[in-house]
């Protein structure tokens, strides 16, 4: 159980996904942190490829605008050996969504396999 607590702390520090400046905001970092077959289902319900997400992040971080987001109800569970499902509620100003990310331990680092956001009305 202690190991899961440590895993949860490591993954909590990486969420919300793609928005943690402490880990890096570069294309190279995002390529390293995502599996080659990573994909995402956005809050719109549309499916996005790894390349689309990385290109979008490059454009976003080219601007100096930074927003403060916070999360609540963070949960982490092992779903397969070295694979973890993280879920949480994300507050982006007035926008509220439920998020889920599948992370895979890769040596001493972490890789994202899948991410989904669902708007809460």
pLDDT per position as a tens digit, 89-107: 999 888 899 999 999 998 8
Q: pTM for the complete prediction? A: 0.88
In the chain, the domains with their CATH numbers are 2-119 (3.10.450.50)
CB-count burial class (<10 Å; 0-12, 13-18, 19+) for 117: buried
Element (H, E) at 30: helix 27-33
pLDDT in tens, 106-116: 888 899 999 99
Identify the pLDDT of residue 27. 85
Question: What is the gyration radius of the CA atoms in the chain, in angstroms?
Answer: 14
């Amino acid at each position: 159980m202690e190991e899961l607590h440590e895993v949860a702390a490591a993954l909590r520090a990486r969420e919300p996904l793609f928005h943690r400046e402490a880990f890096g905001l570069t294309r190279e970092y995002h390529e390293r942190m995502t599996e080659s077959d990573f994909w995402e289902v956005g809050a719109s319900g549309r499916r996005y490829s790894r390349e689309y997400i990385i290109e979008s992040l490059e454009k976003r971080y080219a601007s100096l605008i930074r927003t403060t987001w916070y999360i609540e109800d963070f949960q982490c569970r092992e779903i397969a050996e070295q694979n973890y499902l993280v879920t949480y509620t994300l507050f982006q100003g007035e926008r509220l969504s439920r998020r889920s990310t599948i992370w895979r331990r890769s040596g001493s680092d972490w890789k994202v396999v899948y991410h989904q956001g669902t708007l809460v009305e």
